[in-house]
Amino acid sequence: VEGSRFRTTLQYLEIYNEQIRDLLSPGDDAGRPQKLVVRQSPKLGIYVAGLSHVEVASWEETHDVLQRGLQSRAVGSTLLNDASSRSHCICTLEILRQIDGQGIDVRSKVHFVDLAGSERTKLAQTTGERLQEG
């Protein structure tokens, strides 16, 4: 749109065993994603403190960032599925449109949610850690 500038960012988190983890941060010294907490403020509302925002400029760049996040996701095998997601994940795409000369910013967000695998424990023969995850 003429007279407008756009900025697109991604956020990517997972909820695994009651812990929120940033899938786009480099992680700790062992490469594990950073653990985060939910906060609330009058200005921001409910948000995840410390969650990284990655700016993207093309579909290819967006795809690469999403793939990087997927590599950090918790997965495990069950009898029914070799690579079952063990966490819930939320990917947020935010587009900021700045209209030149008007001082108007329009912010749009889309949240994509993937819920953890929910195989029936009896059929999948889920025990131990896998059973606790579910």
Domains of the chain: 4-133 (3.40.850.10)
85: number of CA atoms within 13 Å, CB side? 17
Ramachandran angles phi, psi of 61, nearest 5°:
-65, -40
Mean pLDDT across 67-88: 70
pLDDT of residue 103: 83
pLDDT tens-place string over residues 57-67: 999 999 999 99
Q: What percent of the chain stands above pLDDT 70?
A: 75
Nearest CA to 71 among 31, 30, 11? 31
Mean pLDDT across 93-111: 91
Mean pLDDT across 68-93: 74
> What is the value of pTM for the model shown?
0.74
